[in-house]
Structure 1
Amino acid sequence: MGYVTQDSWDAHYGEGCSFRPLDDTEVTLLRELVPAPPSGGHALDVGCGTGELARHLAAAGYTVDALDHAASALSIAEQTPPASGTVRFVRCDIERDPLDGLHSSYDLIAFRLSYAFIGDRTRVLHRLRERLGPGGAIVVITPVAAAVPADRRGIALDEEEIALLSAGWHTAEQHDAAGLAFLVLRDPAPGPVTYRGKGRPSPHALTGAGAVVTNEAGHVLLGRARRGTWELPGGKNDAGESFVEAAVRELEEETGLTARAADARVMAILMDSVNGMPRVTAAVRVVDFRGKPAVREPDLIRRWEWHDIADLPTLAAELFTPSAHVLNVVWPGLLPDLPPVHRYPLA
């Protein structure tokens, strides 16, 4: 189960080792909080070890399926029958083996000192709660991280894990069992998943869009930037803005040309880097627009010009690298000797 291999569990029990015995506090809580139904009930003991809890539940009126994936533990468990009632010991890895052989409905599903060793806890709990009968309960008896040495935290649950375990139930009680957490979960209440971020991230990348606009003669629009390059209309995304929305907005802010988002499409996503920072650029083709280009941001652009596409490989000035990559998406192979870029074409 999860953190420890099957061979190590077999060795653990084969060497005569076990775990903390069931004590009077646990017995009292089991009797008071999850008694067997008057007509008897079914219980599932997950990670039963040598069978102490399973035998107690059988004597208390349950018919018990006791699971463990350590053959040595089950061999020891089967040597001591319950004082009364029925226990069926089953070799089963609760995370990996099919559960077809289990009863379809349980009144009690118990994890005693075993839950912390399960790796895929959420998935296992979801599958088992589907077998919980009406009025049934899941009981998890576990050490808590704050009460064990740091080098043994793997056998315990911390507060965050206990809160996660308790989520999605109408009733989640926690009791103290002589230093152990005794959790009783009733009435599953799975809700829709919710979403949240992880706080404000540190700056990691530049993202933006380059807009390719051609006029009725097939000429492409480039601006002469004050930093000495030719470049397409475009720029960085605003928060919450799509690449198409960014391209259309920047086109209007920089040139005065207006276009609808419906008249623009992303043709590829391009990724390179600048000064060690990742840069992501969307190649956006604008197929319809209104107006005539004008300098709207004179601090950035000196003028806008319509260029013959065939002239681009011999421009007597430098092309802004992201603009060159975008142009090469629309007219593949047009520009020679481009700097490296990762290109992800879109249908």
Structure 2
Amino acid sequence: MGHVTQDAWDAHYGAGRSFRPLGDAEHTLLRAHVPAPPGGRALDVGCGLGELARHLAAAGYTVDAIDLAVTALDIAERTPPVSGTVRYLRCDIERDSLDDLHTSYDLITLRLSYAFIGDRTRVMHRLRERLRPGGAIVVVTPLAAAVPADRRRTALDEHEITLLSADWHTVERHDTDGLACLVLRDPASGPVAYRGKGRPSPHALTGAGVVVTDAAGHVLLGRSLKGTWELPGGKNDADESFAEAAVRELAEETGLRAEASAARLLALLMDSVHGMPRVTAAVRVVDFRGTPEVREPHLIHRWEWHALADLPTLTADLFTPSAHVLDVVWPGLLPELPPVHRYPLASEPRP
């Protein structure tokens, strides 16, 4: 769904709206699968009005409850838990520092909040780094197939659930009164694998892979419907330079706007696919405008800003030409790349 602003959330809670109350089936599931250990600590992400946080405190956890909406936290703090301790913190899980959180938790919950996170892969990596050995992350979400069309952006489809589950060795899925409840344990990590996306249509296989980074240094990757993460980019049109192809493809795929003068051609890379030569221009776009969004849903399922340190351990495959382009900008970041012929054209200042 992407990021929702604090003002929008404050207006939501300020108007007296909330979300589906915590049900008996969820109480039973939490007791059975994630009982509080002695001295247990829990983090509730997107706590809203604090109902789940208070339940976890009464169950024996010491709870940190975070939310983007100040209005929701103000309301939550007026209702203390029956027993135990809840500490409420204003935190944008995608954009803010997590330094105010504890370094480790036995339980991390995301109830009806995961679908509202834009860069889910990166956020989940940061959360699982705070998970104690033997701990669990619990994601409770509506299913897209079970909600009206106008509410599907608040739910997860099976593709997103499969992608989320791929990062864990142990995944338990339960139904709680029509909600999907995922209990995730034992994080999985790379090394990242590389693969193509099947035989391309006949074409002179030349194109550009585009590297753009946000202010925090995260790199933009799209989740292809063919099952890979990949950079923005694509084939050249007739009489089109690599720089022109790069900014055009960037706009067509993500909505980000840049001038060709802001596109730096760093190298040409040549490998082969199904016996045909494939030439990829590594292009670095150093200035752009806009916010990434899916413009070609028949090709790309979603766009996310990824932390560089996460790329070597992605559990989902990375499109091979994109991996080669990333290696031009950040040499040595990715392990054991497939063979490629590289023709450097310019130097990229190290970020």
TM bucket, shorter chain: 0.5 to 0.7
Alpha-carbon distance in 1 for matches of 2:146, 2:162: 17
Label 1:18 to 1:204 Cα distance change in 2 as closer, same or farther (>3 A): same
Label 1:173 to 1:242 Cα distance change in 2 as closer, same or farther (>3 A): closer
1:69 to 2:62 alignment: no
Counterpart for residue 9 of structure 2: 9
**Which ranges of structure 2 fall in alignment gaps of 5 or more residues?**
207-271, 280-342, 347-351
Label 1:189 to 1:345 Cα distance change in 2 as closer, same or farther (>3 A): closer
Residues 205, 278 of structure 2: 8 Å contact kept: no
Give the counterpart letter for 2:105 in structure 1.
Y
Residues 3, 119 of structure 1: 8 Å contact kept: yes
Counterpart for residue 51 of structure 2: 52
1:133 to 2:169 alignment: no
Secondary structure class of the residue paired with 1:8: helix
Give the counterpart letter for 2:2 in structure 1.
G
Give the counterpart letter for 2:10 in structure 1.
D
**Which ranges of structure 1 fall in alignment gaps of 5 or more residues?**
208-236, 244-343
Deviation at 1:141, TM superposition (A): 0.4
Deviation at 1:206, TM superposition (A): 6.0
Counterpart for residue 94 of structure 1: 93
Q: Map 1:156-305; keep pairs closer than 5 Å.
A: 156-205=155-204, 239=275
Larger radius of gyration: 1
Counterpart for residue 149 of structure 1: 148
Alpha-carbon distance in 2 for matches of 1:78, 1:345: 58
Counterpart for residue 271 of structure 1: none
Alpha-carbon distance in 2 for matches of 1:6, 1:206: 45
Give the counterpart letter for 1:28 in structure 2.
T
Residues 3, 116 of structure 2: 8 Å contact kept: yes
Of the two structures, which has the highest relative contact order with CA contacts closer than 8 Å and spacing of 6 or more? 2
Alpha-carbon distance in 1 for matches of 2:70, 2:151: 24
Counterpart for residue 36 of structure 1: 36
Aligned length: 217
Report the TM-score, using the length of structure 1 for normalisation: 0.60
Deviation at 1:165, TM superposition (A): 0.6
Alpha-carbon distance in 1 for matches of 2:277, 2:153: 44
Label 1:197 to 1:61 Cα distance change in 2 as closer, same or farther (>3 A): same
Secondary structure class of the residue paired with 1:84: coil
Label 1:346 to 1:80 Cα distance change in 2 as closer, same or farther (>3 A): closer
Deviation at 1:241, TM superposition (A): 5.1
Aligned-CA RMSD value = 2.0
Secondary structure class of the residue paired with 1:182: strand
Deviation at 1:240, TM superposition (A): 5.5
Residues 205, 277 of structure 2: 8 Å contact kept: no
Secondary structure class of the residue paired with 1:153: helix
Alpha-carbon distance in 2 for matches of 1:191, 1:206: 30
Counterpart for residue 307 of structure 1: none
Alpha-carbon distance in 2 for matches of 1:33, 1:69: 28
Label 1:83 to 1:206 Cα distance change in 2 as closer, same or farther (>3 A): closer
Residues 168, 191 of structure 1: 8 Å contact kept: no
- After superposition, the C-alpha distances for 1:66-112 in whole angstroms (9 at most, x for unaligned) are 00010000010001000000000000000000001101110000000
1:24 to 2:24 alignment: yes
Secondary structure class of the residue paired with 2:194: coil
Counterpart for residue 331 of structure 2: none
